[in-house]
Structure 1
Amino acid sequence: MSNKDNYCYFESTELTASDLVLDLLSTHDARELSIAALCRAGEACGLQPQNVRVAVNRLQRQGKVISPARGIYALDATGNTLIGDVRNWLRKEQQAVAWDGGWVGVIDAAVPRREKVAWRRHERALTLRGFRALENSGLWLRPDNLVGGVSAVREDLKRLGLAPAARVFGVNALSGQDETRIRAQWDTRAMIQAYQDVGRRLQASEANLDTLPLDQAARDSLLLGRTAIRLIIHDPLLPEALMGGDERHHLIDQVRAYQVRAKALWARFLEDG
């Protein structure tokens, strides 16, 4: 995995049936939908009903979806570590506090790489919370500017899949050389460009939604909305000293307004079925 951010990653890849089910259940006001509604949504997005049913069954086995009543499905918040992030993206900026120059460090030299699934979860936890590796040191760092400090980050990383052999601790007084090296690991220029690009697409799409057939408008709003929300969820919440500007804040405001339109479109679409 490259240390540098690659913000092309946030462009939506092909939507799978599992993606669709999780996206709709996480954003629908009732937090639950019938299998008929999920299959109809799948057809609007080019997915076969059988594929949606298979995805729902798989998500049930994985503990991500439950069935509170016959033919009705809802998210199981205890089985999906990202549900909280998806639901709380609007409050993303409230998770940060003023930065005093300190860092949160993770040493993972003792973590076995041969256990591929566990290693991928471990790396994913670190990157999801904005950590970057200090070159050839076995040390991952991020600014210590998240609510709750080091202890809260430690518990959060464990919840996301941090390997048990990893150690989480506070880091202060980096050498000037190491400070320069770690600051360079976040491509803030690419991040700002990604915020601006998605913001322009949201603006253009919102102006065009009412001119489209309902099924196309619902599909387009879902795909663009998930791209924007994923970008916000994966934002590392860098402090002002590392990344100035208010692009993230502006994008969150845009997505908030866009989601109101998108949810209304999906409500109409699903009610028409």
Structure 2
Amino acid sequence: MAACALFGIRENNARVALVRLSATGMIEGTGRGAYRIGPSSSDLAEEVRAWRAAESRVRKWNGAWLVVHSAALLRSDRAAWRRCDRALRMLGFRELEKDLFVRPDNLVGGVKSVRARLRKLGLAAEAPVFTADDLDEELDARARALWTSDALTESYARTRRELERWLQRMRTLEPEVAARESFLLGSDAIRQLVFDPLLPDPLVDVSERRAFVDVVKRFDEAGHAIWRTVLGASAKEVP
């Protein structure tokens, strides 16, 4: 409740949201006023938490592609398709042809690992996941152009500079303001990283991405320290 108050969220609204999340299994109670991730969101939460190890998940690219064929999936089943679409986006896939999604085969563990991760995130079993290493020049060029490399690289630099500027001035902020801003900025940066395609050279500037990841980690540590202080102070105020 103390955290919600910093964002202008009323206590009743927060309690209603908690009840709804509990009903869907996304969270579950562990005691009075205490919750943890529930069974229906544990796989997604595990994938999101892995953002800190993003760079350890990539390997040198040999030019091959990971491919998902989704023609057997019914897009009319909106809930199922949303899960599949999210799974594909989280692992960096883009649509090359109708129902044919690709990404560079540069993730550690190769197709077997990626297939398992996609399934856990919601990709239906009817969608085959495989590798392709003999695309013709025209199709390979189209696949490489699915990502705007310069824009992606610039997004790393832009977010990194924004976070660095905030870290330089955070000590001048009131604790509650620092907590609120660190949450909002940090959430956006982590989301950017969670949905980053983790492309290899030469499709993106890998050194710029690594610098971005390093700053997000420092920002996350600073944000956690701020929130521990603010929530600790709020707890002491409760009679």
1:61 to 23, 38, 44: 23
Q: Which of these residues, 226, 231, 235, is aligned with residue 265 of structure 1?
A: 226
TM-score (norm: length of structure 1): 0.82
- Alignment partner, residue 197 of structure 1: 158
Question: Would you say the 8 A contact 2:153–2:208 is kept in 1?
Answer: yes
| Structure 1 residue runs of 4 or more that deviate by more than 4 Å after TM superposition | none
Matched residue, 1:120? 82
- Correspondence for 2:194: 233
How far did residue 81 of structure 1 move?
2.8
Say whether residues 1:84 and 2:79 are aligned partners: no
SS in 2 for 1:140: strand
Structure 2 residues not aligned, in runs of 5+? 235-239
Aligned-partner SS, 2:43: coil
Of 174, 188, 195 in structure 2, the residue corresponding to residue 213 of structure 1 is 174
Correspondent of 1:141 among 77, 102, 110: 102
Q: CA deviation at 1:257?
A: 1.2
Q: State the distance in 1 between where 2:226 and 2:81 align.
A: 40
Matches within 5 A, 1:4-83: 39-76=1-38, 79-83=41-45
Q: Which amino acid aligns with 2:108?
A: V
Q: Does 1:255 pair with 2:211? A: no
SS at match of 1:163: coil
Which of 41, 53, 60 lines up with 1:98 in the alignment?
A: 60
Q: Residues of 2 paired with 1:199 and 1:77: CA distance? A: 34
1:222 maps onto 2:183 in alignment = yes
Partners in 2 of 1:264 and 1:77 — Cα distance? Answer: 29
Partner Cα separation in structure 1 for residue 53 and residue 60 of structure 2: 16
Q: Provide the alpha-carbon RMSD of the alignment.
A: 1.4
- Find the residue that maps to 2:67 and give its secondary structure: strand
Structure 1 spans left out of the alignment, 5+ residues = 1-38
What secondary structure does 1:47 align onto?
Answer: coil
What is the aligned residue count? 234
* Residue number in structure 1 paired with 2:237: none
Query: Cα offset for 1:82?
Result: 2.3
1:186 aligns with 2:119: no
Compared CA separation, residues 235 and 265, structure 1 to 2 (3 A): same
1:108·1:167 contact (CA, 8 Å) conserved in 2? yes
**1:159 alignment partner, one of 103, 109, 120:** 120
**Percent of pairs with identical residues:** 38
CA deviations on 1:153-199 (whole Å, 9 max, x unpaired) are 11111111112321111111100000000100011111111111111
Kept after mapping to 1: 8 A contact 2:67/2:101: yes
SS at match of 1:208: helix
SS of 1:67's equivalent? strand
Could you tell me how far apart the structure 2 residues matched to 1:131 and 1:78 are? 23
Query: What is the CA deviation profile of residues 123-182 of structure 1, one whole-angstrom value per residue up to 9, with x for unaligned ones?
Result: 11111111111134x311111111111111111111111123211111111000000001
> Distance in 2 between the 1:90 and 1:133 partners?
27
